[in-house]
Amino acid sequence: MGYARTAILLAGLTALFLGVGYMIGGGQGAVIAFLAALAMNAYAYWNSDKAVLRMYGAREVDARTAPEFYGIVQQLAARANMPMPRVYIIDEDQPNAFATGRDPQHAAVAATRGLLRLMSPEEVAGVMAHELAHVAHRDTLVMTVTATIAGALSMLANFAFLFAGNRDDRNPLGAIGTLLLVIVAPFAAMIVQFAISRSREFEADRLGAEIAGRPQWLASALAKLHNAAQRVPNVTAEHHPATAHLFIVNPLGGRRNLMEMFSTHPPMEERIRRLQAMAGQPAAAPKPGPWSRI
């Protein structure tokens, strides 16, 4: 159900983008918008992971420079039958983490210094299992495409406002319609982007709990992360709010959303409730992990 919903939302976002192109330049405008979307997504496909890691000053680590953290990720990847991702640490006090990369063969996971200080080894395992679930589901690629189309749609709507007034022959809505388009299109794109992000978080929580073998580890970590995000700022995320959906909890947690639909993440209480429900179900004992030896 989660994948079907994501596909429908992505299709709707793409249709909205093409519709704005049509409003600006008719059939030719729609074709140009489609080609522009292809070009932007091709660039994002190959370069988005490098860009976001540079943006946050992430430092790659290995078994020698961060043996405990690297070992946890290594065993989790083995449990999930996934390629070993590159592992990064971000010099940020706010406890948080994210995954990036276009597919499991080109993936990276990153945790902040604050997360590694605050969490127990078991909780770190729960968090990183969640991030590996995003990689397994290719959520990083989906969210990159979504963010790219949403950003391009806002730019296209502004272009319509500046130039479509001189081309009313191609714009059936006229000046008032164009003004409404400028307001409504980016707003609709934002809602779709956030809806996709929220649906993928629930799926990553579920699979991450299965990978780690103990849903309560992730539930405990989420409670700590949510509380810390309300108190500890993430300066880089505040300067680049479009990246907020990448993190396991909203790094802009100190900002109160006017409505729940404007949040990049589902309600924390619901995420924790679902994990606790999983923990209450009979489950096979997990294989030993590096967290049991730290």
Radius of gyration of the chain (CA): 21
To the nearest whole percent, how much of the chain has pLDDT over 70? 61
pLDDT at 183 over 90: no
Q: What is the pLDDT of residues 111-126, one digit of tens each?
A: 999 999 999 999 999 9
pLDDT at 284: 42
pLDDT at 286: 44
**Catalytic annotation, pick one of 92, 122, 123, 131:** 131
pLDDT at 27: 72
pLDDT at 200: 82
C-beta separation of 217 from 126 below 8 A: yes
pLDDT at 289 over 60: no
Specify whether 92 is catalytic: no
Structure tokens at 188: 């609709």
pTM for this prediction:
0.74
Comparison of pLDDT for 185 and 288, the residue scoring more: 185
Q: What is the pLDDT of residues 206-251, one digit of tens each?
A: 999 999 999 999 999 999 999 999 899 998 988 887 788 789 998 9
| Residue with tokens 């809602």, as numbered in its chain | 191
DSSP letters for 34-76? HHHHHHHHHHHHHHHHHHHHHHTT-EEE-TTTSHHHHHHHHHH
Give the C-alpha separation, 218 to 124, whole Å.
8
CA 190 vs. chain centroid, Å, equals: 13
Q: Mean pLDDT, the chain, as a whole number?
A: 78
Give the C-alpha separation, 112 to 221, whole Å.
14
pLDDT at 237: 87
Structure tokens at 258: 């006017």
Angle of helix 215-231 relative to helix 174-212, nearest 10 degrees, comes to: 130
Comparison of pLDDT for 288 and 236, the residue scoring more: 236
Give the C-alpha separation, 189 to 229, whole Å.
26
pLDDT band of residue 259 (cuts 50, 70, 90) is very low
C-beta separation of 47 from 188 below 8 A: no
pLDDT band of residue 294 (cuts 50, 70, 90) is very low
pLDDT at 1: 42
Show Cβ contacts of residue 190 under 8 Å, excluding neighbours closer than 6 positions: 150, 262
Name the residue ranges covered by the structural domains of the chain. 2-293
Which value, to the nearest 10 degrees, does the dihedral of the CA atoms of residues 186, 189, 193, 199 take? 140
Comparison of pLDDT for 84 and 283, the residue scoring more: 84
pLDDT at 169 over 80: no
